[in-house]
Structure 1
Amino acid sequence: MIVQLLHALTNYDLDEEEEALIRYLYVLHIGKEWDREKKEKKDDWRQQFEKMNIYKEAWCASEHATEREVFRLLLCKCLKQLHKQLSHICAHSGQAL
């Protein structure tokens, strides 16, 4: 699911900090650079989340926040999931995260 989440996040109109973070997460999780050749429509990220039934969950949890705030909630969800996976991997290899 995190791969779908990252792909959906890459379709959003990102500011510089968000784009840097998404690129970093993409490389960490997928193991290759994110290539943003394809231009997406601004709402494509929301449609992708709606397909995964994540957007509605974040929207309800946010008490009708702005779309930017919902995007940030989804980004945090992605970070938490990745951190959980990395912690699990590090624990098995005896390394600190």
Structure 2
Amino acid sequence: MPFAAAGFAAVVALVPGLFAFRAVSSLIELISVSADAKADLVQIFASDLTTFFLTTVVMVTGLLVPLAVTQFFVSRRARSTPVSSSD
């Protein structure tokens, strides 16, 4: 099971890179195409760049929100636990 989890995490991390690569590729291709095809390439570029950005933001949010919630409850539990003193 740990091997499958590591493999899944590795593949998920490649998804934003795929869209970034496609956006850069379409941006480079814009230089060498005619004016008729530029509108389509600009749309493809904008779509890939937006998908890259949103995917990255959602992945970061999915990492930070559970971490913040966990830290909140751990610190809350530590504050509410009374410290026993030995006399």
Range class of TM-score, shorter chain? 0.3 to 0.5
Which has a greater percent of helix?
2
TM-score (norm 2): 0.36
TM-score (norm 1): 0.33
Greater gyration radius: 2
